[in-house]
Amino acid sequence: MRDGLYHRSPRTILTLGLLALLIGACGSPDGGDGADGTPEDAAPEAAAESPTGDDTALVQPGETRLRNLRQLTFGGDNAEAYFSWDGQQLIYQHRPDTETCDQIYKLDIESGERTLVSTGEGRTTCAYFYPSGEDIVYSSTHHHDASCPAGPDMSQGYVWPVYDTYDVFIADADGGDLRQLTDVDGYDAEATVSPTGDRMVFTSVRDGDLELYSMNLDGSDVTRLTDRLGYDGGAFFSPDGSQIIWRASYPETEEERADYTRLLDQGLIRPGELDIWVMDADGSNKRQVTDLPGANFAPYWHPSGERIIFSSNHEEPTGREFELYLVNLDGTGLERITHSEGFDGFPVFSPDGRHLVFGSNRNNGDTSDTNVFIAEWVEDEGP
């Protein structure tokens, strides 16, 4: 879902590979240290051969915002890649196949060298760098069970699992000195850190519903930010730390509310329609940004703090095509960014705004693989 997220709508959506991506919390795959047999000092992942052998056509017609697009991962499910604050590294989730769980890797953008930074056990999701560059945060189930937890029962339709064994952990940037930040019963995941380096925001079911909370970087002073029945998750602070964007799915009818509550009691949620919301960092001044059909998720701030980039399937009747869009904070000025078949999601700007990283099904040799790509971002020209 950031993890932890994942994305989907009530429509019939996506390939099985992407489906697995969604089972996180922020939105990503599973795999790891030994999950794919890759040692921590693995050879650069980016050195692998491109499935199509042709990287010159990665930018599709109409993708005028993207330049010099480059593929960074090859094979398996890779997503939710977030920049270090110096813009030199990415931290992301990787799952080599459907039999393993997501694990967290760090990738040097220039060399392509990757390093496992989670334990290689359990399921992990939603990793993020602290602004200091010295620590990372992610969620994991390994402390309850070293094995990969079972996927959800889809007999009740398309649902996401909300693993009650997820807790938020902090570690050194290389994965050492692992420390647990949350220890209450139930789901705690989808944590990201403010650029100001004083707070983090995360999703928790500690009060009986999936709400957003903020806390100090050491896990103290937990403060609830949302209070509406439904799923609130995938939150990020604005560049100046004053606002928070997130994705939400709120049941509207009595039937929808009963279904939501029943599933949550089973550790499941039915994503339904997802839209993007924004609020002040203290939880005040909540307002809806998007009002579009389908699944609108994975929002991230444009460096200006005045626009949001996100992924959506609202233009595709079957719900299978996810593209990236840019929108103003008031919901105006919607602009489509990508035009590629399949899935484009989890867009993230580099701290200096010069690059965009995202996950995509493009160039996967007709497999279900989702990989991480980086492009130079073409900004609007001034007057």
Token pair of 74, please? 């090859």
Provide the pLDDT for residue 57.
74
In a domain, 78, yes or no: yes
- With respect to residue 118, please indicate whether it lies within any of the assigned structural domains: yes
pLDDT in the model for residue 96: 87
Number of domains in the chain: 1
Say how far apart CA 119 and CA 100 lie, in whole Å.
Answer: 14
CA distance 258 to 268: 13
Assigned domain for 140 exists: yes
Q: Is the dihedral of CA 328, 6, 29, 165 positive or negative?
A: positive
94-101: average pLDDT: 85
φ/ψ of residue 95, rounded to 5: -130, 120
Residue 93 lies in a domain: yes
Q: Which of 33-47, 114-128, 278-292 has the lowest mean pLDDT?
A: 33-47
Domain enclosing residue 245, as ranges = 16-377
pLDDT at 263 over 90: yes
Residue type, 292: L
**Amino acid letter for position 77:** D
Residue 105 lies in a domain: yes
The pTM for the full model equals 0.88
pLDDT of residue 1: 45
pLDDT band at 41 (very low <50, low <70, confident <90, very high): very low
4 domain-assigned: no
Cβ atoms 237, 200 nearer than 8 A = no
pLDDT of residue 185: 92
Mapped to the 3 state alphabet, what secondary structure does 259-300 carry?
HHHHHHHCCEECCCCEEEEEEECCCCCCEECCCCCCEEEEEE
Percent of the chain surpassing pLDDT 70: 84
| CATH number of the domain residue 337 falls in | 2.120.10.30
For position 30, what pLDDT does the model report?
A: 29
Q: How confident is the model at residue 26 (pLDDT cuts 50, 70, 90)?
A: low
Q: Is residue 148 part of a domain?
A: yes
Quick check: is 10 in a domain? no
Q: pLDDT digits over 189-238, tens only?
A: 999 999 999 999 999 999 999 999 999 999 999 999 999 999 999 999 99
Which pLDDT band, with edges at 50, 70 and 90, does 20 fall under? very low
